Chains A and B, each alone.
Chain A
């Protein structure tokens, strides 16, 4: 059982002052094995905060990030899964399923994690799974109206990954979960 936190588009301090308090109290060091971050943190303080949560921190560059050294894309293997990471502003049209699928094939990954739209998504598409953790601070987006703060926790266990999405709606944290199973080369999913 490997816990992976997928988080991004915090836009601190330019669009949001800080992570919501309820999220902060949930995210404690030592519980998570990996963090994959879609980008747009934007400042070093946020980087340090995430690094403190978990030293295995993977970030890709968002267009507002202070640190220009983050890569455009990243791939890593966790257990039986190959994961790909990219902020998403590079993929036009933004949020387009087919274009993202192209990126997925290009990176050759089972799970593609991307952001930019500030809207949570987790779905099976063609050969893989696409996950968008949304914006952890509920930051303003030109693409999505009424953004609720959200992040994703993935529990990778063998050939199965359970995706937990945490959303802050009207001051309360709501959790939902979706199951994905990898069968041979393809993954299938069942939603709850």
Chain B
């Protein structure tokens, strides 16, 4: 039997078929109008013969079928009206079986069957059983599918369901279920067989044609779900096992994907929850080419929504151990499908994680478990290069951040850093920015040195050069943005307890020192100011308290600050370092630590002398030195004199005369301090002024 190749031919054949139907329909109507049963049967059989064609694609066949269907509806009304044709339904049932060809015979039989059931002269289950068996005679895929579809359609409202008028004695619901299941099974077989029919055709075309018919098969599952009498017990014991059996055994990937999807969509979520193990058990048995992850994701999504719908539902999830079962199932699938690319496995984990976050958001151990499974999978594969896979991993890592709005939670997930380890340097940085943005957005505070340590490990792609990517290769704008983000982050690290705060500062220092000269100018200042804020908190607590560890004291912090600012000499960043030394000097002054303040001033002067060469920079720097010095009250006369002398000396040596004037004038304030036991050394000043100004 040749199937149509050319579209033009098909149109022609369809037109011929329709014409045939219309021709016979005309005579059929005449026969019915004159109550002539014999003639009606003759012309309806001829009409139905058009459906015997093998030349049409499913799409076109459907058009033909619909025409015939309309005519059969009218015919059914005629059959029902016994007064008009004078034949009992039982006789009619027998009469139509004399039709010459199988296909018309069966269509007519189904039509009469419908009338027969309605008449209640025989139990519905008997008639249905008879019909579903008889349809076996048509084994051609397309013809068979449409025939059985017709049967399904006319039987729909006549199933012996609980509360239906066709409910008989005995196990009626099971009869209804059996009937639908049998029809479904046969239809699926026919559907699968379609691909072996006729000459070899292009796979896409074949799949397309098959897809067009899939709803015919799926409809049966829908009918099953609508049967009132099908409760959880029956679903669990009969319906699901038999449907799954057919799905697995047909070994056809198109059918399997569609039907698994159907099952999930059509039956209630509570049923899925209670039959989870059975349902999931089918997945590893499916063909390797089936896109399981989409189906599984669908299932998990539905269950997540179900959980969200009401709080009462939640205990059920725990009772059936939904998470464990899903987790196992995914594991099995990944194991069974060796060919599955990494991106597939990761997206399964993303779905599972989403499920865990929505249904069991309080169970961090579940979340960690999923991450752990992912790590295991990533460890077994080569380093991620696939873009899609990387995106999935980022999605995996971002999900907990968005759910919990709190970086602390993410930091406690033991597997989180391990997942990040598997990212390449570029993606690590992207993820690191996501982490920082999350912290900034929710205004969270990272409050222990330990957490800070974990955090800086996670964002190490920003903190230092890893994996051979050099800071030089980066786009300058991007680099600045990254480092400024790190700088902002430093201000989110805080603890009220000075000891812990000092630990935090030391931890940050440890990490940023590995950053190299390009990063230090961004990361050192925020750390310095963070430390100065701590100093201010501690002001007044100078002595040493007996104990093993020396507690946080300003003195200790100034030592640390000295070392931190010192690192800028590697960059080199003399102007920045000078400013920071002056800040420290002022802070030391406020703590009454004269030698410490003096030391900072010395450092600042050294930088001024040796490194600040630009004349404009010199002007600003000397003013900063003078301004800071003017505020010092901790210095004894000798120290003050030395520094003042130096400042004045440098002021006079500035490049441009007007600048010299202004600077030296500013120095005048150094001799005239307006506090209680202040020095108002007008004479001294005049001397120096004259000395430098001739």
Contact = CB atoms under 8 A, between A and B. Distances in A.
A-B complex is real: yes
B241 interface: no
B579 A64 contact: yes
Given A14-B526, A63-B579, A145-B536, A92 B626 contact: yes
B579 A94 contact: no
B623 A14 contact: no
The size bracket of the interface on A is: 20 to 34
Interface string A13-57: 111111001000000000000000000000111000000000000
A18 B440 contact: yes
Interface stretch (B65-73, B196-204, B487-495, B681-689): B487-495
Nearest to A61: B620
Contacts of B669: 92-93
Interface in B489-538: 489, 491-492, 522, 525-526, 529, 532-533, 536
A12 B631 contact: no
Contacts of A43: 480, 484
Q: Would you call the interface of chain A mostly helix, strand, loop, or mixed?
A: loop
A140 B533 contact: yes
A64 B577 CA distance: 11
A182 B423 CA distance: 65
A67 to B, nearest CB: 12
Given A63-B579, A92-B630, A92-B666, A14 B586 contact: no
A145 B623 CA distance: 22
Given A13-B484, A17-B488, A89 B631 contact: no
B391 to A, nearest CB: 27
Given A92-B669, A93-B630, A93-B631, A14 B529 contact: yes
B488 A89 contact: no
A14 B533 CA distance: 13
Nearest to B674: A93
Given A93-B627, A142-B583, A12 B488 contact: yes
A64 B489 CA distance: 19
A90 interface: yes
B401 interface: no
B627 A94 contact: yes
For A14, A16, A17, A93, the residue with the greatest tally of chain B CB atoms inside 10 Å of its CB is: A14
Contacts of A142: 532, 583, 586-587, 590, 628, 631
Interface string A141-175: 01101000000000000000000000000000000
B440 A17 contact: yes
Interface in B452-482: 480-481
Given A17-B440, A140-B532, A89 B627 contact: yes
Interface residues of B, number: 33
B607 interface: no
Contacts, number: 66
Contact of B631 (A15, A17, A143): A143
A15 B354 CA distance: 38
Given A64-B579, A140-B533, A142-B583, A13 B627 contact: no
Contacts of B484: 13, 43, 45
A176 B78 CA distance: 92
Nearest to A21: B443
A176 B627 CA distance: 31
Given A17-B492, A63-B579, A142-B583, A94 B631 contact: yes
Given A142-B583, A145-B536, A92 B623 contact: yes
A90 B631 CA distance: 14
B529 to A, nearest CB: 5
B624 interface: yes
B592 to A, nearest CB: 15
Contact of A89 (B443, B480, B529, B624): B624
A14 B525 contact: yes
Contact of B487 (A14, A21, A63, A94): A14
Contact of B488 (A18, A21, A94): A18
A56 to B, nearest CB: 26
B291 to A, nearest CB: 44
Contact of B627 (A12, A17, A92, A140): A92
Contacts of A44: 480
Contacts of B666: 92
A142 B626 CA distance: 14
For A18, A43, A93, the residue with the greatest tally of chain B CB atoms inside 10 Å of its CB is: A93
Nearest to B621: A63
A13 B624 contact: no
Interface in B577-596: 579, 583, 586-587, 590
Contacts of A15: 491, 525-526, 529
5 contacts: A13-B522, A14-B487, A92-B623, A93-B630, A94-B627
Pairs of residues from A and B, 5 with the lowest C-beta to C-beta distance, nearest first: A13-B487, A14-B525, A142-B586, A17-B488, A92-B666
Given A18-B488, A45-B484, A64-B579, 6 more contacts: A15-B529, A18-B440, A63-B624, A93-B630, A94-B630, A142-B628
